[in-house]
Structure 1
Amino acid sequence: MSDLITIDVSSAEDEYQLHDLLARELDFPSFYGRNWDAFWDTVTGLVEIPGHLRFVGWVHLSESVPRGAAMLASQLDEYRREYRPDLKVEFDGPASFET
């Protein structure tokens, strides 16, 4: 799957809102647990992540939800290394890893 999905994370004010946004934009199942273990389980076994993710509003997310921004960037980096080396991830601000 190589489709581009743009996710605006500028409205997230806490990790629950961030998980809710990710669940909606990435079409996670209704039983998604809204935590980082559940995120990992979902992206590695329950849904197909598109080949290109673009995150806008990253500076706001990094300032408002710094742990969530770091965890999301880290999890996507690990997912790419372990499962999808072709995955392209873009941020409109600094992230914890290079894409």
Structure 2
Amino acid sequence: MRVTPDSVPRLRRGVRRQFDKTRDTAVLMAPERVIVLDDIADAIIMECDGHRSVAEIVTVLAARYQAPEDEISSDVTEFFEDLAQAALVTL
């Protein structure tokens, strides 16, 4: 699935972000799967509300981490493409 700056990612039904006390980290819970999120992945997921576009998420993250939007954009796009391919988000 191709992600564009106008794509609006949303976690699929049955997928949720949760803090796992045992692992002491954030995870994505999906039917029969648990995906451990690193700090970067968690920051992206926290901005994934089903209303903001990829471009808006990139702008928020760039401002928060004082990083160039063009560098963040490719990482965020690739992340959402991977999640879409794994059927964890819809676009």
Q: TM-score, with normalisation over the residues of structure 2? A: 0.33
Structure with max Cα Rg: 2
Relative contact order (C-alpha < 8 Å, sep 6+): which is higher? 2
Q: TM-score, with normalisation over the residues of structure 1? A: 0.31
* Higher strand residue share: 2
